[in-house]
Amino acid sequence: MKQLLKKYFGYDEFRPLQEEVIEHVLLGKDCFVLMPTGGGKSLCYQLPALKFDGLTLVVSPLIALMKDQVDALKTNGISAEYINSSLLPAEIQQIQEKVIAGKVKILYIAPERLASLDFKNFLKKVNVKLIAIDEAHCISQWGHDFRPEYRNLKFFKSEFPKIPIIALTATATAKVREDIVRQLLLDNSRSFISSFNRENLEMIVTRKRKAFDKLLGLLQKHKNESAIIYCFSRKDTEKIAMYLQLEGFKALPYHAGLNSETRKKNQELFIKDEALIIVATIAFGMGIDKPNVRLVVHYTFPKTIEGYYQEIGRAGRDGLPSECVLFYSYGDIRKHEFFIDQMKDAVEQEKSREKLNQIIKYCETIICRRKYVLGYFGEEYSFPSSDGKELDKKSCEACDICLNPNLLFDAAEISQKIISCVIRTGNRFGRNYIADVLLGKSSQQIIDNQHNNLSVFGIVSDFNKDEINHITKSLIAYEFLQVSSGKYPIVSVTEKGILFLKQKEALKLPKMHEDLEGQEKSVSRRKIQYDFDLFEKLREFRKQIANKNNVPPFMIFSDVSLQEMARYFPADKNSFAKIEGVGIRKLENFSEVFLAVINNYIKENNIQSVEILNRVQNRNVKKNNSFAVPDRYIRTKKMISQKLSISEIADKQGFKYGTIVAHIKKLISNGEDIDIDYLKPPQERLEKIKTAFEKCGDEKLKPVFEYLKGEYSYDEIRLGKLFYK
């Protein structure tokens, strides 16, 4: 199986659980597989298909994706076809004849086909050896994407009782998993549950303030990389796409209101890297298998955690670091609640409200976001450690909570005031009401309830409403308070809270962390070091080859493959064959032309090829390397070696001055050999900056700026801080 894996897919090793699933399928046994998006689900049936002497039938609801999957298989030298409503009857007939003749290894079909008696009769003539049901959560009414036509799939167990069935999904709670197995009649099946954790995804939640400016900053950070921006409505998608176009970005809208021709065209331009940004409703993405999406933004937060997890799953499917940013605001909660209120089925309404409350809790949590999401799906998250030991400071290193650990402050007094207010108002109001009472807001409701006469009315003046709400959330997280479910969540005090109030205990809580702007920390521990200039040349060349072959660029080679080429500089066919993703068909078709580009670059820059380590060794090297340099840091390092000024580096990279200073600080702290003496400010000015830091401390810049009476810019202070220690 490993020989087939390398021959057709270009991989040396299986991903977690793949080998076990494949062995189980080859024994002719049913199974249920849960793997996160990008975890390698498709290989679990595609590889056995090559071993079986008949047809592997794949049921998928993703009509838009079928062509891409079939094209990718054909590029790898595997005979595959699809049948769905996009084909003419004559085309379907032709494909069915090929299948009956045994000339097709893998056939993709839409679930609607099984409603057709003619199609069922066609299947009886075929040597079916394996049945794969993708997006299996669609069969469960408890899932987030129920499709009634999936109920027709029970037909398989009665018609092909001895043929193994493999059901696959990326998102399913325990309840949904049980329902899938029951609905498909997989009574004696085995379940393979992979981790939900996507280590390469950075998960950020930020307040929806100056949202469009933040969006521009994110897109600038991911310049020349693919991004998906999810919006609440069709109107929003059109508006934001237009604004982005005016800012010079190649952005296109995608929603169900566009005619099918426009949707298809926009999707194709995105897949082929002609347009780098798609602004979409959730109608977009289910049919996308684009592996190199580096940024997913939820401009409006989604209505369920399942939907959120599936949508961020479209980022970084190739395993490379990618960013997922969610904009959160109370106003958007009201949008979701409005649609929930329109539901006529009371049970469905309550279910939707509970799911909405879960995503709100995710947005408002003060614990690691990764831990929260995995916990929702029933998985206990273990924090990573480079040396195999327990970390003193638990951090996933890839969410805004962990990347920006909040400073603690003495919260005993404000907490006592909040808890007292909840008690004195009768444990029957929401957070905003409690905050308004504490701040002394004379709203009509507060006056009608005579709460303006309470001793707690207006007793808080040193915190604003956002800060009070943040502290209240912390008190809920620490179980001093609890919040009810339903449309209007009510805050009440727990026994633990009453005990805290009576005993007047000390309490430290995290401060409200600073916003997203300027954040340059990145999940980069899995990113290999490579020559950025060669990577760009290879990426442009890949696009030319893809256009000639009329396929998306990633079907020629993935970004992972190109990065390895730009890391190891393979100079001949033998070393090129060792690059990840280079199978026998791609070696024959593309090695010569890509080697010409690589060898020309080697010659021009006097570079030596690097021996490719054994893959197991290579993974261990990456694991023990606590900081693998992201490409933007590599570019900064390269420009420092050329003695460019910080302003010049910032202009060339499209970043702010302070961001480049942050790059330099990160490079130095991780032991990179860089010479920055030429950037040192004049000695007299540097001494004054050092004195200011000694007087004011080096935690914040504002006190230093004020101490220096505004005579030094923040940028010069940031630079001086590099030389302070």
Predicted pLDDT at 288: 67
pLDDT category, 336, cuts 50, 70, 90?
confident
Q: Is the pLDDT of residue 622 over 60?
A: no
Distances (CA, A) of 45 to 179, 195, 484: 22, 19, 45
| Residue 389: per-residue pLDDT | 39
pLDDT of residue 624: 37
Tell me the torsion sign for CA atoms 270, 273, 275, 276. positive
* Total residue count of the chain as it appears in this document: 725
Higher pLDDT, 621 or 180: 180
CA angle 603, 536, 218 (to 5 degrees): 150
Task: Supply the pLDDT for residue 705.
Answer: 86
- The pLDDT value recorded for residue 40 is 84
CA 252, chain centre distance (Å): 20
Model pLDDT, residue 386: 44
pLDDT tier at 215, thresholds 50, 70, 90: very high
Cα–Cα distance measured from residue 399 to residue 379, given in angstroms and rounded to the nearest whole number: 17
- Mean pLDDT of the region 360-389: 77
Give the residue among 18, 12, 74, 17 at the shortest CA–CA distance from 44.
18
State how far the alpha carbon of 651 is from the alpha carbons of 639, 646, 659, in Å: 12, 9, 11
The DSSP annotation for 446-478 comes to HHHTTGGGSTTTT---SS-HHHHHHHHHHHHHT
Q: Which stretch, 3-7, 45-49, 64-68, has highest mean pLDDT?
A: 45-49
pLDDT at 352: 86
So what's the pLDDT on residue 508?
Answer: 86
Indicate whether 558 pLDDT > 70: yes
608: tokens are 């030596």
217 CB-near residues (< 8 Å, 6+ apart): 516, 517
What is the phi/psi pair of residue 83, to 5°?
Answer: -130, 120
What's the confidence (pLDDT) of residue 513? 63
Integer Cα distance of 631 and 559 in angstroms: 13
User: Which of 649, 652, 654, 651 minimizes the C-alpha distance to 664?
Assistant: 649
Higher pLDDT, residue 614 or 451:
451
| Mean pLDDT, residues 693-706 | 79
- For the segment 463-496, what is each residue's pLDDT rounded down to a tens digit? 988 889 889 988 988 889 998 877 778 999 999 9
* Residue-wise DSSP of 164-200: -EEEEES---HHHHHHHHHHTT-TT-EEEE-----TT
- Contact by Cβ (8 Å): 328, 205: yes
The 10s digit of each residue's pLDDT in 93-137 is 999 999 999 999 999 998 888 888 899 899 989 999 999 999 888
Q: Could you tell me how far CA 513 lies from the centroid of its own chain?
A: 22
The average pLDDT across 394-421 equals 85
Mean predicted confidence (pLDDT) in 389-396: 54
Choose the weakest-confidence range: 261-265, 551-555, 660-664, 697-701.
697-701
631: phi > 0 → left, psi -120 to 50 → alpha, else beta; which?
alpha
Determine the longest span between alpha carbons in the chain, in angstroms.
88
Question: What is the average per-residue pLDDT within 352-369?
Answer: 87
Output the pLDDT for position 283: 58
Instruction: Sheet containing 106-109: give its strands across.
Output: 80-83, 106-109, 55-59, 128-133, 165-169, 31-34, 190-193
Q: What percent of the chain shows pLDDT beyond 90?
A: 38
423 within 8 A of 487, measured Cβ to Cβ: no
94-103 LR contacts (CB < 8 Å, sep 24+)? 96/122, 99/55, 99/126, 100/125, 100/126, 102/54, 102/55, 102/127, 103/79
Of the pLDDT bands very low, low, confident and very high (cuts 50, 70, 90), residue 457 is very high
Render pLDDT for 184-205 as a digit per residue (tens, 0 to 9): 888 788 999 888 888 889 999 9
Domains and CATH numbers, the chain: 2-193 (3.40.50.300), 201-403 (3.40.50.300), 408-510 (1.10.10.10), 532-622 (1.10.150.80), 631-724 (1.10.10.1390)
Check pLDDT > 80 for residue 408.
no
- The mean pLDDT value of the chain amounts to 85
Q: What is the pLDDT, as a whole number, of residue 613?
A: 59
Going along 469-597, which residue ranges are E strands?
481-483, 491-493, 508-510
> Is the pLDDT at 614 greater than 60, yes or no?
no
Confidence band for 631, pLDDT divided at 50, 70 and 90? low
pLDDT digits (tens, 9 = 90+) for 428-439: 999 899 999 999
**pLDDT at residue number 115:** 83
**What confidence score (pLDDT) does residue 413 get?**
93
Mean pLDDT of the region 240-250: 92
What whole-number distance in Å separates Cα of residue 340 and Cα of residue 338?
Answer: 5
User: Is residue 144 very low, low, confident or very high in pLDDT (cuts 50, 70, 90)?
Assistant: low
- 689-698: average pLDDT: 82
H/E/C letters for each residue in 497-524? HHHHHHHCCCCEEECCCCCCCCCCCCCC
Residue 570 pLDDT grade (very low, low, confident, very high; cuts 50, 70, 90) = very high
